[in-house]
Chains A and B, each alone.
Chain A
Amino acid sequence: MEGTAVAVCEILKYLIIHWKCETANGALLEGQLVISIEALNSKQQENTLHCVTTIASSESIYGGLVYRNFLKEMQSILPGSSAKLNWTSEEVSYSQDISRVTPFQMTFEVDEKPRTLMTDSLVIKNFLRKIVMVHPKIRFNFSVKVNGILSTEIFEAENEPTLNLSNGIALVVNYQHYMSRPKFGTTQSLCSRIHPVLGHPVMLFIPNDVAGVDLLGELILTPAAAVCPCPKISSNQLMNRISSVSIFLYGPSGLPLILPSQEQSITTVFKDTSYFIDWKKYHLCVVPSLDLNLDRDMVLPDVSYQVESSEGDQSQNMDLQGQTLLLILFVDFHSQCPVQQMELWGIHTLLTAHLSTILQESHSAVQDSIQFAVDQALEQHHQAAKVHQKLQTSLSVAVNSIMSIVTGSTSCSFRKICLQALQAADTQEFGTKLHKSFYEVTQHQVLHHCSCEVKQQLHPEKNDTEESTEGAHENSSPELHAGKRDVIPFCSLSLYLKAWGCWVLIRTGTEGTALRDQRQVANKKFKKGSLHQVLEGTWAFPSARAPSPSEPPLRRGEPPAASMTPSGSRADPGNSPEDALWLQEVSNLSEWLSPSP
Chain B
Amino acid sequence: MAFAPMGPEASFFEVLDQHRASLLAALKRGGGEPAGGGTHLASSSEVLASIEKVIQDVITSLARNEAPAFTIDNRSSWENIKFEDSVGLHMVSHCTTRKIKSDSLKSVKNFALILKILSMIYKLVQSNTYATKRDIYYTDSQLFGNQTVVDSIINDISCMLKVPRRCLHILSTSKGLIAGNLGYIEEDGTKVNCSCATAVAVPSNIQGIRNLITNGKFLLIVEKDATFQRLLDDNFCNKMSPCIMVTGKGVPDLNTRLLVKKLWDTFHIPIFTLVDADPHGIEIMCIYKYGSMSMSFEAHNLTVPAIRWLGLLPSDIKRLNIPKDTLIPLTKRDQMKLDSILKRPYITCQPFWRKEMEIMADSKMKAEIQALTFLSSDYLSRVYLPNKLKFGGWI
Contacts and interface: CB of A to CB of B under 8 A. Distances in A.
A390 B105 contact: yes
Nearest to B140: A397
B67 to A, nearest CB: 4
A445 interface: yes
Given A421-B60, A555-B66, A390 B108 contact: yes
A414 B56 contact: yes
Contacts of A395: 108, 112
Contact of A438 (B62, B99, B123, B143): B62
A437 interface: yes
A528 interface: no
Contacts of B137: none
A594 B55 CA distance: 29
A405 B116 contact: no
A206 to B, nearest CB: 48
Contact of A421 (B59, B67, B104): B59
Interface in A423-452: 434, 437-438, 440-442, 444-445
Contact of B116 (A391, A397, A406, A437): A397
B123 A404 contact: yes
A208 interface: no
B65 A441 contact: yes
Given A405-B119, A442-B102, A394 B56 contact: no
B377 to A, nearest CB: 51
Contact of B109 (A394, A434, A445): A394
B109 A417 contact: no
Interface in A387-417: 387, 390-391, 393-398, 400-402, 404-406, 408-411, 414, 417
A552 interface: yes
Contacts of A555: 66-67
Contacts of A440: 65
A334 to B, nearest CB: 41
B122 A404 contact: yes
Contacts of B187: none
Contacts of B58: 402
A408 B68 CA distance: 21
Given A395-B108, A421-B60, A552-B66, A441 B102 contact: yes
Interface string B94-118: 0000010111111111111101101
Nearest to B54: A405
A228 B126 CA distance: 49
B103 A444 contact: yes
Contact of A596 (B59, B66, B105, B119): B105
B52 to A, nearest CB: 5
B35 interface: no
A597 to B, nearest CB: 6
A418 interface: yes
B4 interface: no
B104 A397 contact: no
Contacts of B55: 402, 405-406, 414, 418
B363 to A, nearest CB: 43
Given A405-B122, A408-B126, A445-B103, A398 B111 contact: yes
Taking chain A's interface residues, is the majority helix, strand, or loop, or is none over half, making it mixed?
helix
A183 to B, nearest CB: 30
A442 B126 CA distance: 31
Contacts of B320: none
A418 B58 CA distance: 10
Given A405-B119, A408-B122, A597-B109, A591 B56 contact: no
A438 B69 CA distance: 12
Given A397-B143, A409-B52, A422-B62, A591 B115 contact: no
A460 interface: no
B115 A401 contact: yes
B51 A394 contact: no
Interface residues of A, number: 40
Contacts of B115: 397-398, 401-402
Contacts of B59: 402, 417-418, 421-422, 434
A418 B123 contact: no
A596 B59 CA distance: 26
Contact of B62 (A404, A409, A414, A441): A441
A80 interface: no
A437 B112 contact: no
Given A391-B108, A397-B113, A408 B99 contact: no
B101 to A, nearest CB: 8
B109 A390 contact: yes
A405 B120 CA distance: 9
A421 B66 CA distance: 13
A557 interface: yes
Nearest to A444: B103
B63 interface: yes
A411 to B, nearest CB: 6
B65 to A, nearest CB: 6
Nearest to B53: A414
Contacts of B65: 437, 440-441, 552
A591 B143 contact: no
A320 B66 CA distance: 35
Nearest to A415: B52
Contacts of B52: 405, 409, 411, 414
B105 A591 contact: yes
Interface in B28-79: 48-49, 51-52, 55-56, 58-60, 62-68
Contacts of B111: 394, 398
Contacts of A437: 62-63, 65
A445 B62 contact: no
Contacts of B48: 409, 411
Contact of A441 (B56, B103, B109): B103
B67 A441 contact: yes
A417 B67 CA distance: 19
Interface in B300-351: none
Nearest to A551: B65
B108 A441 contact: no
A418 B60 CA distance: 8
Contacts of B123: 404, 408
Contacts of B60: 421
Contacts of B107: 597
A552 to B, nearest CB: 7
Contact of B105 (A391, A398, A405, A434): A391
Nearest to B127: A408
A594 B106 CA distance: 8
A442 B108 contact: yes
A395 B103 CA distance: 10
B37 to A, nearest CB: 27
A387 B62 contact: no
A414 B48 CA distance: 11
B66 A441 contact: yes
Contacts of B143: 397
A389 B363 CA distance: 58
A592 B126 CA distance: 40
A247 B60 CA distance: 49
Interface in A555-597: 555, 557, 591-592, 594, 596-597
Contacts of B110: 597
Contacts of B106: 591, 594, 596-597
Given A394-B111, A401-B112, A417-B56, 20 more contacts: A393-B112, A395-B112, A397-B113, A398-B102, A398-B115, A401-B116, A408-B122, A410-B126, A414-B56, A418-B59, A421-B63, A441-B62, A441-B65, A441-B66, A441-B103, A442-B67, A552-B65, A555-B67, A597-B106, A597-B107
12 contacts: A394-B109, A397-B143, A402-B55, A411-B48, A421-B60, A441-B65, A442-B108, A445-B104, A557-B101, A597-B106, A597-B109, A597-B110
Sorted nearest first, the 5 A-B pairs with minimum C-beta distance are A401-B115, A397-B112, A437-B62, A401-B119, A394-B112
Interface of A: 387, 390-391, 393-398, 400-402, 404-406, 408-411, 414, 417-418, 421-422, 434, 437-438, 440-442, 444-445, 552, 555, 557, 591-592, 594, 596-597
